Structure 1
Amino acid sequence: MTTREDVLNYVEDEGVKFIRLGFYDLFGKQKNVSIMPRQLNRAFEKGVAIDATQIFPGCTHEGTDLIIKPDPSTMVLLPWRSMENGVIHMVCDLYTIDGKPFEADTRLLLKRVLQSVASQDLEVLMAAKNEFYLFERDENGNPTKKPFDHGGYMDVAPLDQGENIRREICLILEEMGLDPHKSYHQSGPGQNEIDFHFSDPLQAADEASLFKWVVRTTANSNGLYADFSAKPLEDQAGSSMHVQVRFVEGLKKRDAFIAGLLKYLPEMQLFMCSSPLSVKRLASVNAPGRFDVSDTVRNVMVRIPPLAKDVIEVRLPDSLTNPYLNFALVLIAGLQGIEENLDLPKNADRPVASSLKEAKELVQTSQLIEQTLHPDLVNAYLAVEEEC
């Protein structure tokens, strides 16, 4: 694991000129501050102050500032920058002015949930499978809804025009030390998918968050626009982020974990599908419209891959949503199933919420959400607009 001293030595030895300190709002949108190398040691020790009212306007922390401190284990070199002006990136944790963890931070939430995972004698790895669209830009550089190609599921060139873009994305990810697994054209015109290998859940969430930035940056450098929204084209497939969990230890608890997902994911739908377009995606023919499980049918909410019985795949989250929060909620629901020693239901078939209003009502009556999520986080999602 990369340490603080490793980062400081790397910056000095390699002549790094800029350090980007990244962090995420409650919805998983990346923010960043850039500092010079001479400020790095201070950033590790005391952090960098940010105006929290701009990033977390509804939160109830003391004062108007928060402190971000870089996590040295997340250091990556940005390969699209020349080494003459080298730039490294680190993900930051959030603190209040008095040095306490910022309780509404979703990365902190995932860290704490992972402590509960360990207490259950479980060892899990996680991975994300992201779908996104590539659209052309107009003569002024503005995004359009014109797909980059008209290929279909796993098509090849010339129908698939995104192959070179995906290859470039995967090579950049590898240069950054990330681990893409496979890539291919998805079913919608201009729609693509890139999957990751399994890794530690916190690392997997960091990678899933950085992934969107890499995709957007690469698309932009090729004159394109990358769209991660739930359903950018009315009559085409929506985009999701499938969350996979692999049981390294504790496979005997898998059924109780799945039972927890089926029981509690409905209460969590708002956080994983938080826009009006989410409702349209879940209403599509190919989307998982009911909370069910199968090891033979692919299009279900909780899927057990036929060749990997130690893996489960949750297909509820949109591709645009917060990976830290999605990963944490999947684990919270599964752990609750283990805690209650739930049996896997024989006929799990509960429909998804048909509107954001209904999803919000489920949140407001959920004891599990009340017990596990900070009120500021819950209120931020309850305040999302219900109409496009």
Structure 2
Amino acid sequence: MAEKSKKTSARHADDARQARRRPAYVDNTRGVANWKHAGEWLKWRGIEDIECITPDLAGVPRGKMMPTSKFTSNTSLSLPSALFRQTISGEYPEETGNFRYDPQDGDLKLMPDLSTLAAVPWESDPTAQVICDIVDPEGKSVDYAPRNVLKRVLSLYEDKGWRPAVAPEIEFYLVALNDDPDYPLQPPVGRSGRTIARGQSYTIAGVNEFDELIDDIYHFSEAQGLEIDTLIHEEGPAQLEINLRHGDPLLLADQVFMFKRTIREAALKHGIYATFMAKPMQGQAGSAMHIHQSVTDAKTGGNIFCNRDGSPSSKFFSFIGGMQHFVPKALVMMAPYVNSYRRLAPQMACPVNNAWGYDNRTVAFRVPHSDPAARRVENRLPSSDANPYLALAASLACGWLGMVREIVPDSPTETTANEGTTVDLPRGLLDALSVLEDEPSFIEVFGKDFIDIYAGVKRGEFETFMEVISPWEREFLLLNV
């Protein structure tokens, strides 16, 4: 026993020496400062492979996997430029209008942002991931890459001495496995052995139906340094919502990008799907990505939506004015697919207007009750299928345009704004694209290259959709026309 005690003591002493030698940053769950720290972070964790990923126009992770020894040896990483002209169905649209391909399909370089370095907790082998920016061979930022589009908008705020903050709320459905796209999606079976019914909004029982899956979401998130504020059950059957804490828009876009991946992986582990489609089930509520937005003075840290006496400032009202005027024209960046506009329909829970009001969930732009220091504007129009970088860029750009142009909003709506059959927004994908392209202010805030490429890809997706014959057409046209 004495010999065993000596060995245990020696092991503890060795562990203590190892801990003293270990730099503090290797314990970071997310992000390191430089390449030296990255190498030590990977070594101490025994990481074998690393995924270098970047969001494409759809927000799909694209990139390369490699051994960590190659990653830390200054290996050049590149992707073909055509990847950013690919539709969600994997096709490459014909050149039309201002949409063009690089005639050489030259390489674009992946530049790892080491502040995003994190583990991939669902992999069986020790694996890490890092989000990358896209630059050209000379190192210049590529304007149409989604992460760079958001950075461009944030630089406009920085030039004015402003610092925006956002808090996204992401809704999604859990659905039973479905390997035939001709069949409608169905809710999964929960721990009770039954499929969950609709009308479970905010019930704890609805959340508890998927306790083990939700535990994995929390564990996977914690291992990546992703912080969930709250999780609730929404109105639809097996529809959940995750709320994130407010913070820097680029950081939050990165988190949404990684959360979507994390939630899908956790669901697959339990034999079900997680979907961020805007309208996955006919007759059920759609899934939104509401965005709470505020702006502070970069020097003082004070909320510029407030006067010194706590009353709403002129910038608060002009931010709302910009949202009212420009968001309908930028809607396609927040509702990017044909399916998105099935959510934006009359008689559904989401707004189909450009009205604003205080604590009014029937308007597009809601001002929640809060202390003056927390005064913010919630954009309720984006759907959860949106690329988070583009949705945040669009929403913040519209508010910025309102502030710099001092746009005066309408009077706040004090009644229900969602009654009737009127839709005060583009009603479909092509309409939304046309108003995006026709707004000259968007060249300044998003860049011409982005608008031309985005519009070309979206038109390509619409043409692909038009090739599909729907059940509605077979039901009502087959024998009646």
Using structure 2 for the length normalisation, give the TM-score: 0.74
RMSD of Structure 2 on Structure 1 (CA):
2.5
1:307 lines up with 2:370 in the alignment: yes
Question: What residue number does 1:223 align with?
Answer: 271
Letter in 1 for 2:38: V
- CA deviation string 1:197-219 (max 9, x = no partner): 11211110000111100010000
Instruction: Give the C-alpha shift of residue 164 in structure 1.
Output: 3.6
Question: What residue number does 1:122 align with?
Answer: 162
- Contact 2:206-2:238 within 8 A present in 1 as well: no
- Contact 1:137-1:144 within 8 A present in 2 as well: no
The CA distance in 1 between the partners of 2:78 and 2:183, in whole Å, is: 33
Instruction: Give the C-alpha shift of residue 61 in structure 1.
Output: 4.2
SS in 1 for 2:65: strand
Which is worse superposed, 59-68 or 268-277?
A: 59-68
1:372 lines up with 2:445 in the alignment: yes
The CA distance in 1 between the partners of 2:378 and 2:67, in whole Å, is: 41
- Contact 1:110-1:325 within 8 A present in 2 as well: yes
Question: What residue number does 1:150 align with?
Answer: 197
Q: 1:61 to 1:159 in 2, by over 3 A?
A: closer
- Contact 2:207-2:233 within 8 A present in 1 as well: no
Instruction: Give the C-alpha shift of residue 143 in structure 1.
Output: 9.3
Q: 1:158 to 1:359 in 2, by over 3 A?
A: closer
Q: Which has the larger radius of gyration?
A: 2
- CA deviation string 1:130-187 (max 9, x = no partner): 11110112699x9971102225201232685234423321232122111111001110
- Contact 2:84-2:145 within 8 A present in 1 as well: no
The CA distance in 2 between the partners of 1:254 and 1:159, in whole Å, is: 36
Question: What residue number does 1:75 align with?
Answer: 117
**Which of 66, 89, 94 does residue 134 from structure 2 map onto?**
94
The CA distance in 2 between the partners of 1:145 and 1:56, in whole Å, is: 29
Letter in 2 for 1:118: E
- CA deviation string 1:239-262 (max 9, x = no partner): 111112133332232221111011
The CA distance in 2 between the partners of 1:156 and 1:191, in whole Å, is: 13
Question: What residue number does 1:56 align with?
Answer: 85
SS in 2 for 1:157: helix
The CA distance in 2 between the partners of 1:72 and 1:290, in whole Å, is: 41
- Name stretches of at least 5 consecutive residues in structure 2 with no aligned partner: 1-30, 87-91, 93-99, 189-195, 298-303, 306-312, 418-422, 469-481
1:296 lines up with 2:359 in the alignment: yes
- CA deviation string 1:93-115 (max 9, x = no partner): 11223332222111011112111
Question: What residue number does 2:461 align with?
Answer: 384
- Contact 2:184-2:281 within 8 A present in 1 as well: no
The CA distance in 2 between the partners of 1:16 and 1:22, in whole Å, is: 17
The CA distance in 1 between the partners of 2:145 and 2:370, in whole Å, is: 36
- Contact 1:135-1:143 within 8 A present in 2 as well: no
Instruction: Give the C-alpha shift of residue 188 in structure 1.
Output: 0.3
Letter in 2 for 1:50: L
Letter in 2 for 1:78: V
1:11 lines up with 2:37 in the alignment: no
- Aligned residue pairs total 384
SS in 2 for 1:383: helix
- Contact 1:19-1:37 within 8 A present in 2 as well: yes
- CA deviation string 1:22-69 (max 9, x = no partner): 111112111231110111124xx4531223334535664463222112
Q: Output aligned runs, 1:276-355, within 5 Å.
A: 276-284=338-346, 285-307=348-370, 309-346=374-411, 351-355=424-428
Question: What residue number does 2:420 align with?
Answer: none
- Contact 1:162-1:185 within 8 A present in 2 as well: no
Using structure 1 for the length normalisation, give the TM-score: 0.91
The CA distance in 2 between the partners of 1:163 and 1:341, in whole Å, is: 48
The CA distance in 2 between the partners of 1:380 and 1:55, in whole Å, is: 9
- Name stretches of at least 5 consecutive residues in structure 1 with no aligned partner: none
Instruction: Give the C-alpha shift of residue 70 in structure 1.
Output: 1.0
- Contact 1:61-1:96 within 8 A present in 2 as well: no
Letter in 2 for 1:129: E
- CA deviation string 1:278-305 (max 9, x = no partner): 1110104211110111112123211111
Which is worse superposed, 368-377 or 71-80?
A: 368-377
- Contact 2:82-2:101 within 8 A present in 1 as well: no
Question: What residue number does 1:270 align with?
Answer: 332
The CA distance in 1 between the partners of 2:273 and 2:187, in whole Å, is: 10
- CA deviation string 1:322-370 (max 9, x = no partner): 1111111111111110111122322688811122232122123211223
The CA distance in 2 between the partners of 1:138 and 1:117, in whole Å, is: 44
Q: 1:205 to 1:216 in 2, by over 3 A?
A: same
- Contact 1:66-1:96 within 8 A present in 2 as well: yes
- Contact 1:150-1:160 within 8 A present in 2 as well: no
Question: What residue number does 1:234 align with?
Answer: 282
The CA distance in 2 between the partners of 1:118 and 1:49, in whole Å, is: 30
Letter in 1 for 2:186: K
- Contact 1:135-1:144 within 8 A present in 2 as well: no
Instruction: State the percentage of identical aligned residues.
Output: 24
**Which of 32, 53, 75 does residue 2 from structure 1 map onto?**
32
SS in 1 for 2:339: helix
- Contact 1:293-1:303 within 8 A present in 2 as well: yes
Instruction: Give the C-alpha shift of residue 121 in structure 1.
Output: 2.3
Which is worse superposed, 143-152 or 67-76?
A: 143-152
Letter in 1 for 2:135: Y
- Contact 1:182-1:195 within 8 A present in 2 as well: yes
Structure (1 or 2) with the greater strand fraction: 1
1:176 lines up with 2:224 in the alignment: yes
